[in-house]
Amino acid sequence: MHTEVAREAETHVDFLAPYFARIGNPEQISYDQALEISQNCTADFRQLLVDRINRIQQYVEEVIMTLLLVSAYHFFT
């Protein structure tokens, strides 16, 4: 049970910390600052997803090309 609690403590990550650091880690933030943090976080997350999608798409295209080359090789031999 103790190791489970320790593991949870180790895996806790504050995803908003970089966004608060950009504005100086204030104790309180205004509505406009909260909105800016929200928009920046959302934009970064969307970009992360786009980057992942692009990598997956590139991998799929590489696999398709490999399959086409292998099937062409077997077709002509």
What are the extents of the domains in the chain?
A: 14-76
Tens digit of each residue's pLDDT, the chain (77 residues) = 566 766 666 678 899 999 999 999 999 999 999 999 999 999 999 999 999 999 999 999 999 999 999 998 888 87
Q: What's the token pair of residue 76?
A: 């002509």
| Alpha-carbon separation of residue 76 from 34, 45, 63, 66, 71 (angstroms) | 63, 47, 20, 15, 9
Closest CA relative to residue 40, chosen from 12, 67, 18: 18
pLDDT of residue 75: 83
**What's the predicted TM-score (pTM) here?**
0.69
pLDDT of residue 76: 83
